[in-house]
Amino acid sequence: MKAIVDCNSFYCSCERVFHPELDHKPVVVLSNNDGCIISRSDEAKKLGVQMAGPYFKAKPMIEKFGVSTFSSNYNLYGDLSWRVMETLRVLVGKKNVEVYSVDEAFLDLEEMPSEKLQQLSIEIKETVERWTGIKVSVGVAPTKVLSKIANHLAKKNKVATQCVVVLDTEEKINDALRRTPVDDIWGVGRQYAEKLYRFQINTAKDLQQMDIEWAKKNLGGVMGVRLIKELRGETAIKMEEELVNKRMIATTRMFGQAVDNIKDIKEAIATYTSRAAEKLRRQNSAARTVSVFIVPKEQSHNTYFRHGPTISSYITLPAATSITQELIKPAVQLVNTLYEEGKIYKKAGVMLSDIVPDDSIQGNLFCAPAKNSNRLLMTMMDNVNFAMRDDVLKFAASGTARDWKMRQELRSKRYTTRWNELYEIK
């Protein structure tokens, strides 16, 4: 049996951990630059607050009903996510946990007797909530796809299910499939859902009964076959081991305000490169390819603004490196080739690829000893910045004023990752 543990309105739940007075009250969390709504509590959903809707459009309703609003606080969310996942590892064993996203994890419960699944699921839910303060829903079934369906039903009617649904019999599975529209099936996107409805395939049960050959032809080949098998209770999507080292590392951000000069863009690219280099060193790796992109904001004649096409380029270095200054230099040089005078830019990003283990890189006998000791300098910088936070040590190319930084006017404190922002109990 497989289980999925899904945090309920995760970002809102994180805010409620340190604002218990907001329990059972409407809460929303905004995207980067406070642009759109990316998380809503159940109370906010009932008021009609739209997911992914622009904040400025929802603001009148939010103010009218006193909806508590927060800017994204990724330091807090990332730390609480780690605590949830560590709790699950303690409960079922590290090898039985597959972290699927920041707020979801699959659990392998194959060794658990079927008669104990319901009680175990309740214990998992209650323990996570007691240890972390984050509300979760648990769905259990023979396969990953069926467990996602179980979890969806658990969240759909929290009062009746107590956020736990276990599909451990054929009767329960068939009932769940009949109650699940095809567009609520994990792995079925909007376009495929529309296609299935045209075929008069309206529920997960309808899809389960389709022929394998039909799935090959109409549902993307192998992926469609796997989906049908999973709906039939046959394991076709296996548990995956945690990806310890990333094959590509990226840092991208929307600017806090429109940028029209190359100096600010270079500062942003240097800052993003520094952050990506830190991530690179954290996994003891080095990168050989540096890619940079910038996104202009275009204006039509009717003054309606939209994002322009992404403009990007890359450079391959003579040797892989994890030294920040060796990555900043080519990244900033790429900005010179991408930037166009007179355009306004809204977003930029840096990606590092062709990643190899850092210990596979040989020192250069023809370089001065000081240059080969740059790794020691990077370690010292990383240690200081980790201890003191907020880029206490940074390269001059990153700038000091940083007027382009992301806007977070409604961000709560970083209670778990900053000493000077610790939660106070009076």
pLDDT tens-digit profile of 37-63? 999 999 999 999 999 888 999 999 999
pLDDT tens, residue by residue, 313-344:
999 999 899 999 999 999 999 999 999 988 88
* Superfamily (CATH H level) for 249-398: DNA polymerase, Y-family, little finger domain (3.30.1490.100)
Residue 165 CB partners (closer than 8 Å, separation 6+): 138, 139, 140, 150, 151, 153, 154, 176
What is residue 302's predicted lDDT score, i.e. its pLDDT?
46
Residue 375 CB partners (closer than 8 Å, separation 6+): 322, 323, 358
Q: What average pLDDT does this structure show over 113-120?
A: 91
Residue 229 CB partners (closer than 8 Å, separation 6+): 143, 212, 235, 236
Share of the chain above pLDDT 90, in %: 59
Q: Examine the pLDDT at 370 and tell me if it is beyond 80.
A: no
Q: Examine the pLDDT at 409 and tell me if it is beyond 60.
A: yes
Q: Structural domain boundaries of the chain?
A: 7-75, 82-231, 249-398
Query: Which of 208-212, 253-257, 369-373 is least confident?
Result: 369-373
Any idea which fold 7-75 has? MutS, DNA mismatch repair protein, domain I (3.40.1170)
